[in-house]
Structure 1
């Protein structure tokens, strides 16, 4: 049997990207079916082809003879969290248990070390119907075997649309947002709001439950945020945003839903209320207003997916009231290089 070779791919070589994506998508869908949340072929192509501004993603394939038997990725933040390398190791079921994943992981780790990274992060998911602790799940066991630990556990949930207006109205009545205005839009964040939006978005990863993740706040630079928006546009995605605004015009809370052109689904991204405005149910208000706008402007969108830390009991309870159903669990795994 020929040896396994790990090769970097040219993001502008369509055939190479297609083979890389096919291995990625096949591996992700194994055991997860329609609830495997994967970026589409063209979304990932756009990610690989972007001029790196806030992050750089490198793609690799594992090749046996002339056959691609696995794919890997390494994402390197460039403006913040420069100690972190985010890894993706994907081996289709028919090629597993032959050392291919281990070979990919070793190569990605060496690339991360060469880039000066000291913490590796990875994610793995399994169906909500499986044991909650992930016992017997290949991805989790692979990570643990290679020295990764679970830093935090998340719940993936799905909301089938539309949600009845009466349900939204009932919940809006519980979050009147007195003293605040609500603004919403599609596309890029309006210029007069973007600086404060970017500042809130930058601290989302540190203000939300983080478990044991070795993470710092993201860049709040407006030009960096605009670069991320340009990638979203290149991927054919549409953003739906809403904010609560104080009487003197400051952003007190924000939320964002992103709709994929390719799979048609909506994805709930960040929601955060700034510290001095908490306790007024502003997060609930902006999420409901944004959901109502999504249903009005994109009635063909069939469902919304979201992730929440399993420790975030309040938000999970809100999701249940709206009709979200748990579809999967995800372990965010971490390894500090040099650890046993």
Structure 2
């Protein structure tokens, strides 16, 4: 049995279609209707983007001319250039045939050739299953190939709409402390983009990291613009709120991105600067963004978010808003040097 692995040209429509079908089949096999998927067109636009900060490569594995496996390799180009993001997907009836292992060997070799020494991967499973992923195919596959659980996340879903009375009650008692909220839809306003870049670039290291080998990012206005270009190309809508400190600095932010395909909203980030914590700013920006989302896109069915299991404060905020656990996600890591 020969496994044929070939790179996928992002402008080859049929090849990208085949890649996405494998990706979707693999996730649905593990999560069923709860699988959180990027749509085909969202995936296609991401693969086609010429990025200055992140290189993306994808590969398709075939057995007897049938697509049975898909893999992705992501290489940061600006920060954390010791890392490689790896992903492997195999259709259910081709698992345990060597397809996944062969794909992983291929993309790890390519990462090593680019001087990457830490590999990161993700896999998700039902909320009712063990927190460490024991027995889950993705976790067990990773363990067999040297990947350990570096950070466990909780996937949560908020069914919309949230009653205005609840939003008002949670926002009651907001102190008159000089912080001002500012919100918008679409790209970050020019006068705020530098502060937005500075705060959002610290999300990976300011949020709980577990054992992840990730370094703080360098703020970049150009990187913010690149992300906004992709959101627009994918037909997504971005809702943003910041809290400005009394001296006018971006002290907190929250961003919701609504898919143009399934209409669901995804929480891309909420963060408060260290020096501004203790003012309920996280709750304040999330409440404002939910109000705007429900006013502007009232048919949005849900919000999906991910938080580290150790992030007790943000989990408590989400529970108060009505989020319910919908799954678990493991951030797996393998170091080779």
TM over 0.5: yes
Counterparts in 2 of 1:202 and 1:65: CA distance versus 1, 3 Å: same
8 Å CA contact retained: 1:155, 1:309: yes
Report the Cα offset of residue 176 of structure 1. 3.7
Q: Which digits, 9 at most, give the CA deviation of each residue in 1:250-275, with x for residues without a partner?
A: 11111100000011100011111112
Structure 1: where are the runs of 5+ without partners? none
Report the Cα offset of residue 100 of structure 1. 0.5
Q: Which digits, 9 at most, give the CA deviation of each residue in 1:215-253, with x for residues without a partner?
A: 012231101211111111111111000011123321111
8 Å CA contact retained: 1:177, 1:282: no
8 Å CA contact retained: 1:161, 1:301: yes
Report the Cα offset of residue 332 of structure 1. 0.1
Q: Which residue of 1 aligns with 2:10?
A: 11
2:176 and 2:294 mapped to 1: Cα distance?
Answer: 21
Report the Cα offset of residue 320 of structure 1. 1.4
1:76 and 1:300 mapped to 2: Cα distance?
Answer: 36
Q: Which residue of 1 aligns with 2:183?
A: 184
8 Å CA contact retained: 1:59, 1:71: yes
8 Å CA contact retained: 1:195, 1:222: yes
Structure 2: where are the runs of 5+ without partners? none
Alignment partner of 1:199 is 2:198? yes
Query: Structure 1 length normalisation: TM-score?
Result: 0.97
Q: Which residue of 1 aligns with 2:217?
A: 218
8 Å CA contact retained: 2:131, 2:152: no
Q: Which residue of 2 aligns with 1:105?
A: 104
Q: How does 1:137-148 map to 2 (within 5 A)?
A: 137-148=136-147
Q: How does 1:81-160 map to 2 (within 5 A)?
A: 81-160=80-159
1:274 and 1:131 mapped to 2: Cα distance?
Answer: 33
Q: Which residue of 1 aligns with 2:310?
A: 311
8 Å CA contact retained: 1:241, 1:255: yes
Q: Which residue of 2 aligns with 1:48?
A: 47
1:284 and 1:174 mapped to 2: Cα distance?
Answer: 12
Q: Which residue of 2 aligns with 1:280?
A: 279
Q: Which digits, 9 at most, give the CA deviation of each residue in 1:32-79, with x for residues without a partner?
A: 122211111011101110112110110101111211111000011111
Q: Which residue of 2 aligns with 1:321?
A: 320
1:101 and 1:155 mapped to 2: Cα distance?
Answer: 26
8 Å CA contact retained: 1:62, 1:69: yes
Report the Cα offset of residue 123 of structure 1. 0.3
Coordinate RMSD, CA, aligned = 1.0
Query: Structure 2 length normalisation: TM-score?
Result: 0.98
8 Å CA contact retained: 2:29, 2:92: yes
